Amino acid sequence: MPVIMSGGSGTRLWPLSRTAHPKQLHALVSELTMVQETVARVSDTRRDFSFARPMIVLNERQHALARLQLEAMSVPTSHYVIEPVARNTAAVAAVAAHLVAREYGPDAFVLLLPADHHIRDVDGFHTAIEAAAELATAGSIITFGVQPTGPETGYGYIERGEKLGQGYRVRRFTEKPDREAAQRFIDTGAYYWNAGIFLFGSGAVISEMNRHCPEIASASFLALENASNNGDEVNLCVDSFANCPSNSFDYAVMEKTDKAVVVPADIGWSDIGAWQALWEIASDKTADGNVARGDVHFVETRDSYVMSTGPRVGVVGVRNVVIVVTDDAVLVSDAGRSQDVKALVDALKEEGRTDLL
């Protein structure tokens, strides 16, 4: 079963991405929103295998809009699981594994994936899933590794070990190395970017979570057992889920288990983690390397990304900039510093500017 994690806030894409309307609920790459693209990617029937109806995990503030967007696609979902508080990806994995095991049995697979990633090669993605499924049948917990194209410091890296089927045992994970270390990793040819997408048997991951992070496993199980259900809506128990430690699936499970396997996935992947990523994947750059979204006019400008959701924006005599204009905020950034937009969001939080968050 695909389990789509859609609860994030996408702070690095401020001012467009906000808590109640985060980046996964915006159309940034195509006419579809990011969550719609993700659901479409796991509703494809061109392969010999088929996906179960996807489960969407998100928070209450995003639920109504996400439901409207997905219902507009006429693609049936299995459950909307509502998180009362944010508890990171390990808790999501635990809830999903318990729910899938309860409904389909402990041998049923969970494909855990974020709602806000871009994958250009859907066929390649499905091929990687087929390869991973063979390994997951034997109890492995699969992560998908992307071939690095440069020494990115914003990604986690996976070092591969011995060959195992169409994948490799994971030797180690390294989270967001500095540029020098990232270049060393790439030079060895033995490292992948960590795409944050996982495939595992529900029973296998429950067993590993009971072993390595029992507090998360227990609290998540109780949050599901004590949930209130309304049709396809599962509202996790507030008290139980609030007691769950907050940790990522990578830290809580993948870095501790001896069942971690990486499957290479050459799929045209991007996590759209900053505005510059949207410039990089754009297929409609002008001859000067500019990307315009909305009512934008360039004069002697190069290699820039400019978006306006309303007013006309004129850009003159600059290069390598990101400009984003909404009805209540304007962002201007050097393109190479677009990862640092989060610092602006942190400052708004400190100032109590919840109207802009």
pLDDT in tens, 177-205: 999 999 999 999 999 999 999 999 999 99
Are 236 and 81 in contact by the 8 Å Cβ rule? The answer is: yes
319 is in which domain, residue-wise?
275-356
Query: Residue 46: what pLDDT?
Result: 56
CA distance 193 to 311: 38
Torsional sign, CA 112, 115, 118, 123: positive
On whether both 199 and 306 belong to a single domain, the answer is no
DSSP reduced 3-state for 173: strand
Peptide bond into 2 cis (omega under 30): no
**What's the pLDDT at 126?**
94
Is the domain of 244 the same as that of 290?
Answer: no
Start-to-end CA span in the chain (Å): 33
Q: Are residues 264 and 281 located together in one domain of the fold?
A: no
Which of 4, 134, 16, 193 is CA-nearest to residue 81? 4
Q: Are residues 266 and 280 in the same domain?
A: no
pLDDT tens column, 199-225: 999 999 999 999 999 999 999 999 999
Q: Where are the beta strands (DSSP E) in 245-348?
A: 260-264, 269-270, 291-293, 296-299, 305-308, 313-316, 321-325, 330-334
Whether 61 and 22 have beta carbons less than 8 Å apart is answered as: no
Please state the pTM of the whole predicted model: 0.94
Cα–Cα distances in angstroms (integers) from residue 271 to residues 115, 130, 278, 286, in the given order = 10, 22, 10, 23
CATH number for position 171: 3.90.550.10
Compute CA distances 18 → 21, 26, 319, whole Å: 5, 10, 27
DSSP result, 259-288: -EEEEE--S-EE---SHHHHHHH-S---TT
Q: 200 and 236 in one domain?
A: yes
pLDDT at 274: 93
Q: Do 67 and 212 belong to one domain?
A: yes
- As for how many domains the chain has, the answer is 2
Residue 258 token pair: 């001896």
Q: Mark whether 314 and 227 lie in a shared domain.
A: no
157/73 same-domain check: yes
Q: What is the secondary structure of 179-207 as a DSSP string?
A: HHHHHHHHHHT-EEEEEEEEEEEHHHHHH
Last residue of a domain, one of 236, 270, 304: 270
Q: Residue 3: its pLDDT value, please?
A: 97
- Domain check: are 294 and 153 in the same one? no
C-alpha–C-alpha distance, residues 83 and 103, integer Å: 20
User: Domain boundary residue among 250, 270, 290?
Assistant: 270
Residues 33 and 52 in one domain: yes
Q: Note whether 166 and 134 are within 8 A (CB).
A: yes
**Residue where a domain stops, chosen among 233, 249, 270:** 270
Shared-domain flag, residues 285 and 252: no
Query: Do 55 and 151 belong together in one domain?
Result: yes
Low-confidence spans in the chain with pLDDT less than 50: none
CA-CA distance, 322 to 307, in Å (whole number)?
8
